[in-house]
Chain A
Amino acid sequence: MAILETVKVSFTYPDQLLPALNQVSFSVEPGEFIVICGPSGSGKSTLLRMVKQEIAPYGERSGEIFYNGKKLTEYEPVKIAKEIGMVFQDPENQIVMDRVFEELIFGLENIGMPTETMRTKLAEMVHFFGINHLLDKKIHLLSGGQKQIVNLASVLLMEPRILLLDEPTAQLDPVAAKDFLHMVKQMNDEFGITVLIVEHRLEEVFPLADRVFVFDHGSLKISGPPKDVIAKVWQEQYRPLFPYLPSTALLYLEHADNLQIADIPLTVKEGRKWASQLKTHQSDTSFKKQENYNEKQNPILQVKNIYFQYEKTGKKILQSLSLTINEGEWLTIVGANGTGKSTLLKVMAGLESPQRGKLIYNGKKYSKPISTDIAYLPQNPKLLFIQDTVRGELIETAQQFHLENYEEKINCLVELLGIQSILDRHPYDVSGGEMQKSALACVLLPQPKILLLDEPTKGLDPEMKVALGKWLKSMQSRGLTIVMVTHDIEFAARFSDRSAMMFQGEITVTTSTKDFFKGNAFYTTVVNRMTRDGNIPEVVTVEEAEEKWGSQKIKN
């Protein structure tokens, strides 16, 4: 019997014309691992919230949801709250207590468990997760990844039968995301917990999935085993859903002659097996032609021998760091957590003053923010907004910088970004992508020469990422210089010109993005790991493959 079944579930938010969910029917067997994907606003989160009835949204609903054959509403509320657990996107915001220990037992206290039982359960869980060393720690001293693990453990302590996860790794760095997903998979494998996960890290979750549900515009478009779903999206040419396919599969679909569903690679291992059969039909020399990274060598911003630490006795964040940014380029800075990437960006923006070293912009030294020339977009755009409409924010920003005929400038920028429709809304009430665009509009209003971006793709869906990348590319062609700090190597590989690696407060390598990733053994894209050391030209992205392989008629 299905553990979860929905029958024609529809839902419409108040004051909305179109339903957020439209006649969604499916059933899930116990122990299944279901991946739910689709564009933002396609109803994925709404669906999870409908299943998790304590936080069901208000609005017009129809259809029924069954848990173990009985309607959800027929169960004792406490039982159902226990047995259907949910982990949310933001690791920080779902934490309620001050210390890890108290956070873990929060749910158990809510269901009225006596102290002794709590102790036993906790002892078990702590042992299984290996988080003994975290127990007495204050929450604010944990990393994002650790917080999310605590959130997962806290939900699992209530012994759920179904685990709902709403983009649980969107705010994590790749290493923490892997750890987290691994733990979810372990729960699924070893305890048979049914998992429904909304996720955008397709390369990571597709190999784990038993079935994939693809949502679009509130309805369940396609469902089935991952390879079938991929094949179907491809064959039926659901173009808007292409960004939702893992890049291993995309590469295969674009370049395989004889499409076999069973051969669609989901992992790098499978991908390499297929790629090893590929042969090039032209001579070696033609594709050895190095792509010439156009080094205009016109430095616009120079960081010279910077030292920085937050406190006198604290850790040194930046050490004798030097970096030159050339006019018109798009530079990516990558590196592990805590290597000082974000701090470097703040120093370049003039927001933090280094203890030693020089900052030179256009040949002039500076130590304070010059926002009219160097714009900075923080990781979380929320902290930029003061006014209660996007328009108000733009006007206020224009006045702050004493811009002349700003209305024209605002209109122009708004049109470029395509945010006309949200101008009179509260900046917090719009979608993540739109909020970021509004923030971009604000920082770009004084027409700066340089744009500094901190993790611009965090929390964006694949489609929005591509749109953002293309938009920034177009701004670059109008003369904007871009410096970006990111963990998203796929995004960096696809859009940026030059990449730098940060390690222990220093820049270690700086070279053209393509060479950068081809030179890295571990820190590189999935596509690169799939195609290196083969008989074919090594590529970094699907787009590069299209360009390079297409002209060389690669066949298998």
Chain B
Amino acid sequence: MDNGFRSLHPFVIFLYYVLAIAMIMLYQHPFFLTFACLLLVIFNFALDQGKMLKKWVSMMIVLSLLFLILTPLTNHRGNHVLFYLFNSAITLEALIQGLLNALTLIAILTLTITFNYCMTADKFLFLFSKWMPKWSLLAMLSVRFVPLLNRRIVEIITVQKGKGLSVTSGPLKQRVKHGLLLVQVLLTWSLEDGIQTADSMSARAYGLQKRTKYTPYKLHMNDGFMILILTGLTGTGIFGWWLGDGVLTLTPFLEPTILYGREWVFFTIYVLIIGFPLIVEGKEAIQWQYWKR
């Protein structure tokens, strides 16, 4: 069974991700974004020791570097000219803007990785089965076929090797051609066998009347409480953004990066929202410690 953040109702989990993305996109401030990235990296490590994160790290670096370089080259607004490159001004403002862009992308991507970990396919499809039962059934069917088709294609690759259809050696054109020939075998085989799957569905009364959907998740008191907290916090957060806090003003005048007075309040709320799963996990860990004694 899942525990901690993952044991919450899928709707709560989904809500967290929507709100967290909104917060990341609204609060364009290096201090806020750096903290968000930090919290999310910790969250990643809490979930799987950062295994998934490692797989994505190269994509993150490429994307953030791209914007770190691209933005100062394309954006010339701002008063603080650092130097000139090919007759165009590279400004501090643009550099900071590039940094903000890069941080936003990193934050979103680290958040996405945890999303895939916490929001498993069946939770995800469960959420949509309420509004779109047919799409979710279709997706489930398709998801069921993927491991089966995967095993088949591996088998086809192995056996067709005997007939000289290799995808690993030979000229590129031929390899690509062989690759699709193998997919073609998979297509014919799977569509042929699919008729049996359809029969088995019909034999179990599919399509004769309106389907119900088994509901594996119940919305507990605790979940309701969490929804309340999350929406309350985000409401306040959006109010703060509307006030102009937590957004670094670049033009016409560059604002200092250091937080002042009221901004610390909204920063705390921001941390509470982004770090919400960590708080839930932490609370549970402490409770366990207590129970053990």
Contacts and interface: CB of A to CB of B under 8 A. Distances in A.
B212 A383 contact: no
A92 B214 CA distance: 23
A349 B201 CA distance: 38
Interface stretch (A82-90, A246-254, A480-488, A536-544): A82-90
A351 to B, nearest CB: 5
A540 to B, nearest CB: 33
A140 B161 contact: no
Interface string A89-101: 0101111111100
Interface string B145-185: 00110011001101111111000000000000000010011
Contacts of A130: none
A71 interface: no
Interface of A is mostly: mixed
A96 B141 contact: yes
Interface in A328-349: 346, 349
A88 B204 CA distance: 12
Contacts of A113: 212
Interface in B69-102: none
A123 B206 CA distance: 23
Interface residues of A, number: 57
B117 interface: no
Contact of B155 (A77, A350, A383, A397): A383
Chain B interface extent, by class = 35 or more
B140 to A, nearest CB: 6
Contact of A382 (B121, B192, B213): B192
A280 B163 CA distance: 55
Contacts of A52: 203
A428 interface: yes
B143 interface: yes
A75 B214 CA distance: 27
Interface in A320-378: 346, 349-352, 369, 371, 376, 378
A207 to B, nearest CB: 28
Interface in A103-124: 105-115, 118
Interface string B46-75: 000000000000000000000000000000
B199 interface: yes
B144 A81 contact: no
B162 A350 contact: yes
Given A81-B208, A109-B214, A383-B185, A139 B200 contact: no
A93 B197 contact: yes
B205 to A, nearest CB: 4
A158 B158 contact: no
Contact of B140 (A102, A105, A349, A385): A102
B162 A97 contact: no
A110 B211 contact: yes
A118 B214 contact: yes
A105 B214 contact: yes
Contacts of B185: 383, 385-386
Nearest to A368: B161
Contact of B196 (A77, A90, A384, A428): A90
A35 interface: no
A98 B144 contact: yes
Of listed B147, B162, B185, residue having the most chain A CB within 10 A: B162
Of listed B148, B189, B205, residue having the most chain A CB within 10 A: B205
Contact of A139 (B144, B163, B205, B207): B144
A207 B211 CA distance: 41
B287 interface: no
Contacts of A110: 204-209, 211
Given A383-B155, A386-B181, A386-B184, A98 B212 contact: no
Of listed B185, B202, B214, residue having the most chain A CB within 10 A: B214
A386 B178 CA distance: 11
Contacts of A397: 163
Nearest to B142: A98
B205 A376 contact: no
Nearest to B150: A140
Contacts of B189: 382-383
B65 to A, nearest CB: 33
A400 interface: yes
A50 to B, nearest CB: 13
A395 to B, nearest CB: 13
A1 interface: no
Interface in A432-486: none
Interface string B200-239: 1111111111111111000000000000000000000000
B92 to A, nearest CB: 51
Of listed B202, B204, B215, residue having the most chain A CB within 10 A: B204
Contacts of A109: 211-214
B3 interface: no
A17 B197 CA distance: 29
B188 interface: yes
Nearest to A112: B212
A262 interface: no
A55 interface: yes
Nearest to B204: A107
A108 B215 CA distance: 13
Contacts of B158: 346, 351-352
Nearest to A371: B162
Given A98-B143, A109-B212, A155 B162 contact: no
Given A98-B122, A115-B214, A140-B148, A378 B140 contact: no
A85 B199 CA distance: 12
Contact of B212 (A114, A158, A350): A114
A521 interface: no
A138 interface: yes
B161 A428 contact: no
B208 A78 contact: yes
A54 interface: yes
B216 to A, nearest CB: 8
Interface string B95-117: 00000000000000000000000
A154 B162 contact: no
Contacts of B156: 383
B159 to A, nearest CB: 5
B204 A81 contact: yes
A111 B209 contact: yes
A371 B158 CA distance: 13
B145 to A, nearest CB: 9
Nearest to A77: B208
A107 B205 contact: yes
Contacts of B152: 383
Interface string B123-154: 00000000000000000110110011001100
Contacts of A151: 200
Contacts of B122: 98-99, 102
A258 B189 CA distance: 52
B162 A351 contact: yes
Q: Which 4 pairs, one residue from A and one from B, show the smallest C-beta to C-beta distance?
A: A94-B200, A107-B204, A81-B205, A93-B196
Given A107-B204, A110-B206, A110-B208, 16 more contacts: A54-B208, A78-B205, A81-B208, A93-B193, A94-B200, A96-B144, A96-B200, A98-B140, A112-B209, A115-B212, A118-B214, A138-B147, A139-B147, A371-B162, A378-B159, A384-B160
27 contacts: A54-B205, A54-B208, A77-B208, A78-B209, A88-B196, A93-B196, A95-B200, A96-B201, A106-B204, A106-B206, A108-B214, A109-B211, A110-B204, A111-B205, A111-B208, A113-B212, A115-B214, A155-B204, A158-B205, A350-B162, A351-B161, A352-B158, A369-B162, A376-B159, A380-B155, A382-B189, A383-B189
